[in-house]
A = this chain, B = another copy of it.
Amino acid sequence: MHSSSVFSSLPPPKLRLTALYSAPTTDSNSNSMAAASPKWAQKTITLPPLRRGCHLITPKITKELGDDLSQFNCGLAHLFLQHTSASLTINENYDTDVRDDTETFLNNIVPEGNSAPWKHTLEGPDDMPAHIKSSMFGCQLTIPITNGKFNMGTWQGIWLCEHRDYPTARKVVVTLNGI
């Protein structure tokens, strides 16, 4: 950020360009920076039940956020899955084989059934493996926002990984913060 213009706000940043913004100062003669006032938004998105496996949910998330995402020139989007038997991750957004192979990996790495050493089995053989997979991939993501959009790589997408055999609706708390 060596060439950044400190404390300037508009116009919005271009990708790969550097910018350092600030909230408006208390100088009442300087209303021109009001547009850069920090904003917070928060919403709980409910995802319908999805079968066990990995699912690309970027379109659903961006549709639910709608116009509100476009109000942030620079910021962060935080996604928080309120469950312990599913997970959020970012991975390939194109070939569905990648999602299938990831499910295969998770099942190979976390044993299920008679050979599994788990004590916690009350809800079925997929219960404890689901908890473990949830901590392996995690339940939370933070994604940069640039010019009103998620600033992910070309091939990146947001995945909901459902680890239960009998899935239920899943809630994701999305928090947006930026200017």
Contacts and interface: CB of A to CB of B under 8 A. Distances in A.
Contact of A38 (B22, B90, B110, B134): B22
A124 to B, nearest CB: 14
Contact of A105 (B13, B110, B140, B143): B110
Contacts of A97: 118-120
A84 interface: yes
Nearest to A105: B132
Interface residues of A, number: 94
Contacts of A64: 1
Nearest to A178: B40
Interface string A91-104: 11001011011101
Given A18-B43, A40-B21, A40-B74, A91 B135 contact: yes
Given A25-B26, A40-B178, A84-B90, 7 more contacts: A18-B43, A89-B138, A91-B135, A95-B120, A102-B131, A136-B136, A139-B156
